[in-house]
Amino acid sequence: MIATYPWLSAAIWIPIVFGLFLLSAGRDRSPGVVRAVALVASLIGMLVTLPIVTGFDVGRTGPQFEEKITWIDSLNANYHLGVDGLSIWFVPLTAFITVIAVLAGWKAIGERVAQYYASFLILSGLLIGVFSALDGLLFYVFFEATLIPMYIIIGVWGGPNRVYAAIKFFLYTLLGSLLFLVSLVFLYQASGGSFDIFAWQRMPLGLSAQVLLFLAFFAAFAVKVPMWPVHTWLPDAHVEAPTAGSVVLAAIMLKLGAYGFLRFSLPIAPDAAHHLAGFVIALSLIAVVYIGFVALVQTDMKKLVAYSSIAHMGFVTLGFFIFSPIGMEGAIAQMVSHGFVSGAMFLCIGVMYDRTHSRNIADYGGVVNTMPRFASLMMLFAMANCGLPATSGFVGEFMVILGAVKYNFWIGLAAGSTLVLGAAYSLWMYKRVIFGQVANPTVAKLTDADPRELLAMGLLAAAVLAMGLYPRPLTDAMHASVGQLLQQVSHSKLAPGL
Amino acid sequence: MSKLNFFAVLPEAVLLASGCLVLLADLFVSERRRNLSYALSLTALAAVALCCWRLLDAQVVQYAFGGMFVTDPMAQVLKLFACLATGFALVYAQNYARGRAMWRGELFSLSLFTLLGVMTMISANNLLLIYLGLELQSLSLYALVALRRDEPRAGEAAMKYFVLGALASGFLLYGMSMLYGATGTLDINEIAHRIAASQVANRPALVLATVFLVAGIGFKLGAAPFHMWVPDVYHGAPTPVALMVASAPKMAAFAVAFRLLVEGLLPVAGDWHVMLLLLALVSLAVGNLTAVAQSNLKRMLGYSTVGQMGFMLLAMQSGVAGGTTASTAAAYGAAMFYVISYSLATLAAFGVMLLLSRQGFEAEEISDLRGLFRRRPWYAFVMALAMFSLAGVPPTVGFYGKLVVLQALLADSSSVPVVWIAVIAVLFSLVGAFYYIRVVKVMYFEAPVDNQPFDAAADMKIALTANGVALIVLGVLPQYLLALCSSAMVRTLGG
C-alpha cells in the first residue's frame, strides 16, 4: 500500500533536513559539491511527491495520505497532514519549482552558496507543509516560517535595493498574518479548544463573527496573493530578489494566499464570503484591468512580469468568488499554470540578466539573433502568459471567463479584457527585447542558453504544453473536492434564529 | 504548617551555603586561579537546579517556617529557570569580565545572592519575606551594576537603579503596610481568607493598598509607566549584569505578582485586573514605539523588555476573567511560559553581544553587529533566532509565548472588547517585529566593518550553541515546556 508510507512528511522533511545539513556542513571552498548536494536533495524531494500524485484517488472528497500525530497536547494541536483535490497539485508543483530554482542559481550565486541553497531547500519543505497542513496551528507555523528564508534570500543575495524590499516584504506579510493568528485563536476558543480545520468548517458561526474572521483572513491572504491595493510589496520584492527567489516567490508563495482562501475564508466563513463577494470581485477586476495597464508601461522586465502576476492572480480570486464549479476549477488551474509560466518568465529574464546585468527593456533588442534557442523557448512562455490556447495559461483563464460570463456578463467582459491586455504587455515586451536589429554591442556578444538553462526552461516548457494540451487529469483531481467546497459555501452556517 | 520543614528550603539552603563558600574561598584564590570560584559557582548552581528538579518531581505544595515559605510546582519551575539563567549569564560573562577587571569573587558571590533573593521572592508566602527577598535581590544587583568602579556610566546607572529601586520598594512596602492594616495579617493565604470572609471593614484601604502593590510590581517588571529605569540600567550596566537584571528578576517579579495579586488579593481582582490591563497596553505602546528609535542594542532590548512585559501582563490580567480553574491556570501558565521564553531569547541575544565584546571594545550598538553573518554565520544565526523569538515568529519558542497569551486573552471569546485588545496587542508586536528584524538586517544584509577576529572559551561557545538550539527546538516541539508550565500552574492552583 502506497498510502501507508508518510509521503507527505517525507516531502516536507527531506528538503529541510538536507537544508540543515548544508547549513551546518556546507563550505564556501567547495561550491560545486554544495550545488550537487542541493540538486540531489531537490530531486529526491521531487521524487517523493510522485507517489502522492499517482496514488491520489480522484473520486474521494476528504483528505488523503493523512498523517495524524499528537503534537502539542496541552493545546490540542496535532501534526495533521493530508492533501485533497484543492491542494494536491501544489505539493508536486513546489517540489518541481525547487528543482528549477536550484538550477537557476547554479552560476549566478558565487558567495555563501551553502546558505543560499539551504534557504531554498528549507523554504521548499515549509511551503509543502503549508499546502498539506490540516491543523490550524501547524498551518500557521509553516505559513509564517516561510517568511524567514525568503527574507534572507532577498536581503542577502538580492539587488541594490534589497534591504528595503526585504523589510517591506516581511512587514507587509507579517501584518496580515498577525491578524490571521488572532482569528485562529478566536476559532480555537469558539470551537471549544480545537485547531482542526475541518471542525472549524463545520462549526456554526454568527454573521458578525464570520465577517470579522473573513476580514482577518483577508488581511493575511490578500497581502500574500497579492490583491490590489496591498500589492505594492510584490514589484519591489521581485525586482530585488535573485532569479530563483523571484521564481519561487511568483510560482509558489503567491499561491499560499489563494490557497488560504480555499482552505479558510470560503468554508469557515461562507456567509461572510457571500456578503463580501462583490467587494472581492471588484478588487479582482481592478487587479486584472488596472494592473494590466500598469504592466503595459513598465520599463523593467521583472517589474512587468511582477505586475502581470498580480493581474493573473486577480483571475484566481475572481474565480473563487463567483461560486461556480467551472470558475473555481479554473482558478485552481490558473494557480498551477501561473506557477509554471511566471516561474518560466522570471527564469528567462534571469538568463538574460546573468549575461548583461540589466533588466531594462531598452537595453535589449534583437536578442533572437544571438540567442535563437532561448528566444524560441521564451516565445512559448510569453504566449502562455497571454493565455494562448494549447498552453497552460489558456485553461484557467478560459474557465474563469466562462464562469464569470455566466455569473454576470459585464464582469465576464471586464475579465475578458485580460486577453487583450495580457497579449499586449507580454508580446510587446517580447517584441522589444527579442526581435529587431541587434541593438547594442552587449546584445551582440550574448551567447545562447547553455544546456543547464535549456534543461530548466525545457522542463517548464514541457509542463506548460502538457497542461495546455491535456488538462483533464488536472481538473479531474479537483472535481470532488471543489464540489464539496462549493456545497459548504452554499450552506449557511448561521444558526437558525440568528 | 507550623514545622520548619527543611526539606522544602533545600535549594535555598544549598545556595546560601555555596554563596558563602564562594565568598570565603575566593579570598584564598589568586588572580590566576579565579576559574576555581567560577567552577564552584557553576557547580553550586547545578546542585541548586537539581534540588529544584527533585522538588518538582515531588509535586506537592509544601509550607516551611510556619507558613512563611511555600514551595509549589510553579515555584520550582521558575527557580529552575532562574538557576539556568544565572548559570548562562555567568558563562557568557567570562569574556567580557576578564577584559575589564570584573572577573572577581564579588561577581560570583553577588550573582549567587541575587539568585537567592530571586528564589526567596518566588517562594515567599508572607509580606515580610517578599520584601526581604526583594531587598536581597535588589541590593546585590545595585552592587553588581556598580562593579566597574572606574566606569562613570556604570556608576550613574547604579545610582539611578538604586534610587528608583528604592522608590519602588517604598511603594511596595507602603502597599504592604496598608494591606496589613486592613487585614491584620502578613500571611498571604490568611489575607485572602480574611478578605473573602468579608472581615475587612476598610475596603478603600484595601484598594489603595492594591494600587501601591501594583505600582511596585510594575516597577520591578519594568512595565510602563514605571519603566524609566529600564533602558538606562540596561545601557549603563556592564553587559553581563544587564543580562542578570533582564532575566531571573523578571521571573521573581512574575512570582510576586502571582502571590500578591492572585493568591492574596483575588477577592479584589475586579480592581487590579483593570490596572494590569492598563499597564499592559501602555507598556506595549511605549516599549515598542520607543524601541524603534534606539540605535544602541542594549537600550533597544531594554525598551523591548517593556513591551514584552506588557504582553505578559495581558495574560496575567485575563486569568481572573475566565472564571473556571482550568482557564485561570491556563492564563497564568501562559504568562509563566511567556516569561521563560522571553528569558531564553534575551539570554541568547546578550550572549552574542558578550561574545563580540573584547578588551576595550563594547559591542553594544546595533551597528556593531554589521556583517556578522559573513564573519561567524552560526552566531549570527543564534542572534537571528533570538530576534525572531522575541518578535514571536515561528518556528521559535517566542511564537508559542505569543500564542498562549492570545489564547488566554481570548478565552472569553464572546466578549468583543477582548478581541480588539488582542488586535491592538498584535499590531504593537508588528511594530516590535520591525526593530527586531532590523537587527537581522544589519547582521545579514550589510558588509562587515570590524574585522577583528574574536574567540571565546569553549564552554561559552557550547552554552551559546545550546541556547540557540533550545530556541528552535522548543519552537518545533514546544509541548514539553508548555505542559510543564500549565501542569505546574494547575497543581499550584488546585493545591
The residue among A435, A227, A398 whose CA lies nearest residue A311 is A227
Tally of structural domains, chain A: 2
CB B26 within 8 A of CB B108: yes
- The mean pLDDT of B179-193, rounded to a whole number, is 89
What confidence tens digit (pLDDT) does each residue in B19-64 have? 999 989 888 887 777 888 889 999 999 999 998 888 877 667 888 8
User: What is d(CA A200, CA A87) in angstroms, rounded to the nearest whole number?
Assistant: 18
Which residue, of A262, A292, A313, is where some domain finishes?
A262
DSSP characters over B48-77: HHHHHHHHHHH---EEETTTTEEE-HHHHH
Domain check: are A299 and A257 in the same one? Answer: no
Same domain? A284 vs A252: no
| B445 close contact with A: CB closer than 8 A | yes
Kindly state whether residues A159 and A81 are assigned to the same domain. Answer: yes
Residue of A nearest to B446 (CA): A156
In a domain, A498, yes or no: no
Shared-domain flag, residues A95 and A19: yes
Domain boundary among A201, A230, A262: A262
Amino acid, res. A460:
L
Is the residue at A371 inside a domain? yes
* Region A293-322 average pLDDT: 90
The answer to whether the CB atoms of A115 and B479 lie below 8 A apart is no
| Beta carbons of A156 and B373 less than 8 Å apart | yes
- CA of B410, closest CA in chain A: separation in Å? 6
**Mean of the pLDDT values across residues B309-336?**
80
pLDDT of residue A496: 53
| Assigned domain for A268 exists | no
Q: What is the reported pLDDT for A112?
A: 84
Cβ pair B390, B380 in contact under 8 A: no
Separation between Cα atoms, residue A72 and residue A78, nearest integer Å: 7
Nearest to B141 by CA among B128, B124, B160, B158: B158
Interchain CB distance below 8 Å, A175 and B430 = yes
What is the residue range of A486's domain? 276-493
Give yes or no: residues A253 and A280 share one domain: no
Q: Using CB atoms, which residue from A75, A141, A163 is nearest to B445?
A: A163
Residue A55: pLDDT over 90: no
Per-residue model confidence as pLDDT tens digits over B122-140: 999 999 999 999 999 999 9
pLDDT at B495 over 80: no
- One domain, residues A481 and A380: yes
3-state secondary structure of A90: helix
- Which pLDDT tens digit goes with each residue over B330-346? 888 899 999 999 999 99
Helix (H) or strand (E) holding A78: strand A77-83
Q: What is the mean pLDDT of chain B?
A: 88
Indicate if A108 and A212 belong to the same structural domain.
Answer: yes
Q: Which residue from B381, B427, B479 is facing A71, i.e. has the nearest CB?
A: B479
Is there a domain that residue A9 lies in?
Answer: yes
Contact partners, residue A144, CB within 8 Å, separation at least 6 = A174, A177, B393, B394, B399
- Is B433's Cβ below 8 Å from some Cβ in A? yes
Domain endpoint, select from A230, A262, A294: A262
- For B235-262, what is the mean pLDDT? 91
A226 with A182, same domain? yes
CA–CA separation, A121 and A99 (whole Å):
9
Question: Is B212 touching A (CB cutoff 8 A)?
Answer: no
Q: In the predicted model, what is the mean pLDDT of residues A181-186?
A: 90
Q: Find out whether B260 and B339 touch, Cβ atoms under 8 Å.
A: no
At A2, the pLDDT band (50, 70, 90 cuts) reads very low
What ipTM was predicted for this assembly? 0.89
Q: Establish if A270 belongs to a structural domain.
A: no
> Is A109 contained in some domain?
yes
Output the pLDDT for position B413.
61
For A196, half-sphere exposure in the C-beta direction (CA atoms, 13 angstrom radius) is 13
Residue ranges of A 21-80 with Cβ closer than 8 A to chain B: 23, 71-75
A221 shares a domain with A109:
yes
* Separation of alpha carbons B205 and B268, rounded Å: 12
pTM value?
0.91
CA angle A214, A218, A220 (to 5 degrees): 125
Q: Is the pLDDT of residue A497 over 50?
A: no
Is A151's CB within 8 Å of B437's CB?
yes
Give me the torsion for CA of A175, A180, A181, A186, rounded to 10°: 140
What average pLDDT does range A245-250 have in this prediction? 91
The nearest CA of chain A is from the CA of B393 a distance in Å of 7
Q: State which residue of chain B sits closest to A126, comparing Cα positions.
A: B395
Residues A380 and A239 in one domain: no
Cα separations in angstroms, B390 against A276, A295, B227, B472, B475: 36, 39, 19, 12, 12
The Cα-based distances of A128 to A43, A259, B178 in angstroms read 15, 12, 60
Give the closest-approach CA distance of A217 to chain B in angstroms.
13
Question: Residue A175: is its pLDDT beyond 90?
Answer: no
- The Cα B157–Cα B350 span in angstroms is 18
B256: amino acid identity, one letter: V
| C-alpha of A258 from chain center | 8
Domain assignment of residue A70, yes or no: yes
- Phi then psi for residue A57, to 5 deg, are -90, 110
Rg (CA), chain A: 22
| Grid coordinates belonging to B65 | 517556617
3-class state of residue A471 by DSSP: coil
Mutate which of B367, B385, B393 to disrupt the A interface (most A C-beta within 10 Å)? Answer: B393
B130-180 confidence digits (pLDDT tens): 999 999 999 999 999 998 888 888 889 999 999 999 999 999 999 999 999
Minimum distance, in Å, between the CA of residue A1 and any CA atom of chain B: 30
* A151–chain B Cβ distance below 8 A for any pair: yes
CA atoms within 13 A on the CB side of A313: 32
Q: What is the pLDDT of residue A191?
A: 86
Shortest Cα–Cα distance, A493 to chain B (Å): 17
Q: What is the per-residue DSSP string for B392-422?
A: T-TTSHHHHHHHHHHHHHTTSTT-HHHHHHH
Option in A141, A163, A182 nearest B441 (CB): A163
A145·B437 Cβ contact <8 A? no
Look at residue A235 and tell me if it is in a domain. Answer: yes
Is residue A359 very low, low, confident or very high in pLDDT (cuts 50, 70, 90)?
confident
Clarify whether residues A255 and A340 are in a common domain. Answer: no
Let me know whether A363 and A412 are in one domain: yes
Q: How far apart are CA A457 and CA B183, in angstroms?
A: 81
Task: For chain B, say whether A178 makes contact (Cβ under 8 Å).
Answer: yes
A222 CB near a chain B CB, below 8 Å?
A: no
Percent of chain A residues topping a pLDDT of 70? 98
Determine which of A2-11, A75-84, A151-160, A239-248 has the lowest per-residue pLDDT on average. A2-11
In chain A, which residues have their Cβ closer than 8 Å to the Cβ of B440? 151
3-state secondary structure string across A336-385: HHHHHHHHHHHHHHHHHHHHHCCCEHHHCCCHHHHCHHHHHHHHHHHHHH
